[in-house]
């Protein structure tokens, strides 16, 4: 039993010392995310109440996340990029809760807080899971995989105030 506890403790220590690995208490998350935009490759929302799953990245032509000044700007894009329809941007502003540099939660509105269950990053790829009760009262889990961009996309740039 002591040997198993030692192996488990050593494994946690080794993981927490890696610069490429992050946990929900990644104290470098704020520095990594702040002032950055990400192309969302997948954004699955699982509804625990009716057992349904939706992928927001598949619904829109593209989805971006931009972090700036304690906010997350979720930019959903319709049209453009070869489409005959004009480009439209739907932008949600979400408050990001950081504590000592770690991403702890997201406030969707004044009363709906989603807790961060997992955050991981390797180089320019990041993933996170957060869950909570949505505005319609359903308990949801959100699973996101995103790729860090070198510049801010137009819709995200306008919403966040960051340069292109």
Query: What's the confidence (pLDDT) of residue 9?
Result: 37
Chunked mean pLDDT (size 10), the chain, 164 residues: 38 44 72 95 95 92 93 88 78 93 88 90 94 91 96 84 79
pLDDT at 3: 40
DSSP 78: E
For residue 110, what pLDDT is reported? 74
The reported pLDDT for the residue numbered 129 is: 95
- Distance, in Å, from the CA atom of 157 to the CA atom of 164, rounded to the nearest integer, reads 6
Residue 163: per-residue pLDDT: 81
The neighbour count for residue 75, using CB atoms within 10 Å, is 25
What are the angstrom distances between the C-alpha of 116 and each of 28, 141, 155? 15, 10, 25
| pLDDT of amino acid 55 | 93
Q: Which residues, including other chains, have CB under 8 Å from residue 73's CB and lie 6 or more apart?
A: 64, 65, 66, 67, 91, 92, 93, 94, 156, 159, 160
Q: What are phi and psi of 65, to 5 degrees?
A: -120, 130
């Amino acid at each position: 039993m002591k040997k198993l506890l030692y192996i488990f403790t050593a494994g946690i220590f080794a993981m927490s010392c890696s610069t490429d690995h992050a946990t929900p208490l990644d104290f470098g998350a704020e520095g990594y995310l702040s002032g950055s935009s990400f192309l969302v490759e997948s954004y699955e929302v699982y509804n625990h109440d009716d057992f349904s799953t939706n992928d927001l990245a598949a619904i829109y032509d593209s989805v971006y996340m931009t972090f700036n000044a304690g906010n997350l700007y979720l930019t959903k894009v319709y049209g453009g990029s070869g489409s005959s329809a004009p480009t439209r941007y739907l932008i949600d502003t979400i408050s990001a809760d950081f504590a000592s540099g770690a991403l702890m939660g997201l406030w969707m509105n004044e009363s709906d807080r989603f807790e961060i269950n997992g955050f991981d990053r390797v180089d320019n790829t990041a993933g996170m899971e957060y869950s909570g009760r949505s505005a319609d009262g359903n308990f949801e889990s959100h699973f996101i995989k995103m790729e860090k961009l070198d510049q801010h996309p137009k819709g995200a740039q306008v919403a966040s105030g960051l340069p292109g």
